[in-house]
Amino acid sequence: MSDQPERRLVIISNRLPVILERTGKQWSIRPSAGGLVTALAPVLRDRGGLWIGWPGTEDETELEEPLAEGAKGAGFDLKAVLLSKEDRDKFYYGFSNEIIWPLFHDLQALCQFDPEYWAAYQTVNGNYADVVIRNVRKEDYVWVHDYHLMTLAGELRKRGNRAPVGFFLHIPFPPLDIFMKLPWRFEILQGLLEYDLIGLQTLRDRRNFEQCVSTVIKDVEVHEDGPLVNVRLDNRQVRVGAFPISIDYNSFAAQAVTREIADRAWYIHEDLPKRHLVLGVDRLDYTKGIPFKLEAFRNLLTRYPELRERVTLVQVVVPSREDIPRYQELKMEIERMVGEINGVFTTSGWVPIIYIYRHLNRPELLAYYRTCEIALITPLKDGMNLVAKEYCACSVEEECVLVLSEFAGAAAQLQKGALLVNPYDVESMADAIHTAFNMEKSERRARMGQLRATIRENDIFRWVDSFLTAAIGKELHDFPPVEDYQPQVRIE
C-alpha cells in the first residue's frame, strides 16, 4: 500500500460520490447521479485525496463494507457524515431544496421560508465542520461544493481551521431582486465571504454576486482584478471568479467509439428505424422544463405534420427527490403529457415519445448520446448543464445538432454552435427542432465541430487548474497520482 500524499485535495459536498440503498439485509451501491460527481470523480481519482459527504442513508449500521466496495478503483478515501431523518428533512429537503434551490433558480414562489429549516442548516454545516476538522491537515486544500454548505467555512474558522478553503457553487447565483427575498440573505453572504475563493459558473452569476454583496454587506470594497473580483472586508480579502465547469472530454469521446457503445447504438436505431431521434436527458426537477419540452414536441407534430413518423423523442427522466410532493406531482404531470401526446399521434409502427424513467448506467447513456441526431436540452435555468457537453463529446461523427436553452450556463460557451431557444416559448422550440431536422450535413458538422473543439479545450482538468491556480497558485499536477493507492473508508 502506498503512503498518503503529503498534500491532498479534500472535496466536501453534501453527498458522497456513491449512493447506498438498503433492501432488507442487502445493500446496493451505485454512483451518484449529477454533474458534481461526473465532474470531480475523474479529477480526484488515484491521487489519494479525501471526499467527505453523506452516503444517502439514515441507517448507521454496517456501512463500512458497502462503502469500501464503492471506493474500489476510486483512488481516494471516503469519509461518511451521517445525517438523522430530521437532518435530512429540515437541512436537505427543507432549507437546501425548498428554499435555496427554487430561489436561486428564480422560482421564489415555490420557496417555503420555515425558520426551523434555517436552524437545521446551521447545525448540519457545523456537524460537517466537526468531521472536516478531525480529518484535514493544514497542508491539504479544502474544496467545498454547492449550496448545501454555504456557511461551512465560517464554522471551520470557529473551530480553528488552518487549511485554505475554497467554494464552488454549481447552481446559478440569483440577481439582487430575487436574492433579497431570502430572510437570511445577510447570514448567507457573510458565510460565503468566510471562504478564501468563491467560484461561480458564469460571468452573469459573478455579477449577480457582486451586486448582492455591495448592496447587503456594509463597509465592503469590491473591485475587479483581471478575471477575478476582490472583496475586501474586516481586514480580509476574498476572491470571486467565474469558472465554468466541464467534463472529462477525452474519456467520453474515447468510450463513445468503443465496440460496446457502437453495438448498443446500432441496436437502438435497429429498434427505431428510419427516423430522427431527439434526445432529452433530465433529472426529475421543475427547473428542467420537461413539461415545456413535451408541449413543444406536441406543437411540432401539430404544426409540422410532415415530421410525423419521421421523428421520435426519447425522453429520459432520472428519478430525484421522489419523497417531495412537488416532485411526485411533476412526475405525474410528465407521464400524463406523454400519454396524451402518444394517444393522439401514435400510428402503426410509430410512437412519438419513448419515455424512460430510471437511472441509465454510463454505457446506456453514451449509446443514446451516440445514436440520437438531435439533443433537446431546455432547462428553465441551470448552473451549467453537463449533459449538453457530454452529448457533444460523444457525437463523434459530428452530424448531430444541439438545441440548448439560453438560460443554461452552458449557453455562454456553446452559443456559437448550438441552436439557442427560450424554453418558455414552445413554438420557438418546435421551430428549432424543425430547423435541426432539416439542417444540411455540412452545417451540422461545422456546428458540432466547433462545439466539440470548445469543450475539448475547456475540459474538466482545465477547470480544476484554473480554480486551483486562483486559489493557491497550484495546478492539478501538484497533486500527483499515487501508485497503487488503496482507499480508506471512515464513518462518523
pLDDT per residue as tens digits for the range 240-294: 999 999 999 999 999 999 999 999 999 998 999 889 999 999 999 999 999 999 9
Q: State the Cα–Cα distance between residues 193 and 189, nearest whole angstrom.
A: 6
pLDDT per residue as tens digits for the range 169-202: 999 999 999 999 999 999 999 999 999 999 999 9
DSSP 306: G
Question: Is residue 146 pLDDT above 60, yes or no?
Answer: yes
pLDDT per residue as tens digits for the range 416-437: 999 999 999 999 999 999 999 9
Label residue 435 exposed, middle or buried (CB < 10 Å: 0-12, 13-18, 19+): middle
Q: In terms of pLDDT, which residue wins out, 394 or 26?
A: 394
DSSP 33: P
pLDDT per residue as tens digits for the range 25-64: 777 777 776 778 878 888 888 888 899 999 887 766 667 7
Cβ–Cβ < 8 Å for 407, 276: no
Specify the long-range contacts of residues 331-340, CB closer than 8 Å, at least 24 apart: 331/284, 331/357, 333/291, 334/284, 334/290, 334/291, 334/294, 337/291, 337/294, 337/295, 337/298, 338/294, 340/298
pLDDT per residue as tens digits for the range 84-137: 999 999 999 999 999 999 999 999 999 999 999 999 999 999 999 999 999 999
Q: In terms of pLDDT, which residue wins out, 19 or 115?
A: 115
The residues facing 141 across adjacent strands are: 9
Q: How far, CA to CA in Å, does 4 sit from each of 17, 48, 67, 227, 401?
A: 20, 6, 19, 34, 45
SS3 of residue 405 by DSSP: strand
Cα 131 off chain centre by: 24
CA atoms within 13 A on the CB side of 256: 22
pLDDT value of position 67: 79
Phi, then psi, of 104 in degrees rounded to 5: -75, -10
pLDDT value of position 1: 43
Within 347-385, where are the H helices? 362-371
Question: Is residue 68 pLDDT above 80, yes or no?
Answer: no
Buried b (16+ CB within 10 A) or exposed e, 80-107: bbbbeeebbebbbbbbbbbbbbbbbbbb
Q: How far, CA to CA in Å, does 346 sit from each of 63, 353, 429?
A: 48, 9, 21
What stretch of H or E contains 451? helix 441-457
Look-up of cell digits 460527481: 37
Which residue, 131, 173, 182, 134, is CA-closest to 152?
131
Question: Is residue 492 pLDDT above 80, yes or no?
Answer: no
Cα 81 off chain centre by: 21
pLDDT per residue as tens digits for the range 443-469: 999 999 999 999 999 999 999 999 999
* Virtual torsion, Cα 202, 204, 205, 208, nearest 10 deg: 160
Cβ–Cβ < 8 Å for 18, 150: no
Look-up of cell digits 411526485: 328
Cβ–Cβ < 8 Å for 449, 398: yes
Average pLDDT value for the chain: 93
Which residue, 150, 115, 171, 131, is CA-closest to 10?
131
pLDDT per residue as tens digits for the range 202-236: 999 999 999 999 999 999 999 988 889 999 998 88
Domains and CATH numbers, the chain: 9-245+459-485 (3.40.50.2000), 249-457 (3.40.50.2000)
Q: How far, CA to CA in Å, does 324 sit from each of 23, 31, 334?
A: 21, 22, 16
The set of catalytic residues is 170, 382
What string of DSSP letters covers 214-260?
Answer: HHHSSS-EEEEETTEEEEEETTEEEEEEE------HHHHHHHHTSHH
Cβ–Cβ < 8 Å for 342, 66: no
Cα 126 off chain centre by: 24
Q: In terms of pLDDT, which residue wins out, 20 or 332?
A: 332
pLDDT value of position 299: 98
